[in-house]
C-alpha cells in the first residue's frame, strides 16, 4: 500500500525554501562569533570526557550505557550536539565541575535518534 504526501506538501516545501532564503545573511557576510557550525563528528562507545574539537557526538550505546562529560562551559557560547544512535541502554550527559545542564546535574537519554544540542552559558549549559 502506498501513501501519497498530503496536498500541502508542495506549498510546505516552497514555504521552507523561501524561509531559508530570507534567513540568509546579507551580502554573504560571515556568521557572527555567536554562531557555531557543527561539522566534525566524534564517535563514542564508552565513558568519555568530551573536548571542544567535536561538534556532533554520535553515542553508540549498543553494548552498554555510557556517560559523556561536557568540558567546562567558559561562558563562550560553544555548542555541541549529542545523538544517541542505538536503541539499547542509555546516554548520561554530565557537566564538568560546578557547571549545570539547564539547572540540573545530569541529563539521561533513552530513546534512539534523540539529538540534544548544548550551548555553553555563564553557569553551565542550556539545551537549544
- Written as one string, the DSSP assignment of 30-94 is PPPTT------EEEE-S-EE--TT-SEEEE--SSS-EEEEPPP-TTS--EEEEEE--SSS-EEEE
The pLDDT tens digits of the residues spanning 45-83 come to 999 999 887 789 999 999 999 999 999 998 788 899 999
Q: Which CATH superfamily is domain 38-127 in?
A: gp9 (2.60.120.640)
Q: What is the mean pLDDT of the chain?
A: 79
Q: Give mean pLDDT, residues 92-113.
A: 95
pTM above 0.75, yes or no: no
The pLDDT tens digits of the residues spanning 103-127 come to 999 999 999 999 999 999 988 999 9
- Residue 36: what pLDDT? 52
Amino acid at each position: 500500500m502506498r501513501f501519497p504526501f498530503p496536498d500541502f506538501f508542495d506549498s510546505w516545501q516552497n514555504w521552507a525554501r523561501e524561509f531559508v532564503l530570507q534567513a540568509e545573511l546579507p551580502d554573504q557576510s560571515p556568521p557572527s562569533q555567536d554562531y557555531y557550525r557543527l561539522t566534525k563528528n566524534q564517535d563514542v562507545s564508552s565513558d568519555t570526557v568530551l573536548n571542544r574539537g567535536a561538534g556532533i557526538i554520535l553515542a553508540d550505546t549498543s553494548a552498554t550505557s555510557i556517560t559523556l562529560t561536557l568540558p567546562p562551559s567558559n561562558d563562550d557560547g560553544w555548542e555541541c550536539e549529542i545523538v544517541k544512535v542505538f536503541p539499547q541502554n542509555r546516554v548520561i550527559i554530565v557537566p564538568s565541575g560546578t557547571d549545570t545542564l539547564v539547572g540540573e546535574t545530569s541529563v539521561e537519554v533513552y530513546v534512539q535518534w534523540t539529538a540534544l544540542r548544548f550551548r555553553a552559558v555563564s553557569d553551565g549549559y542550556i539545551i537549544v
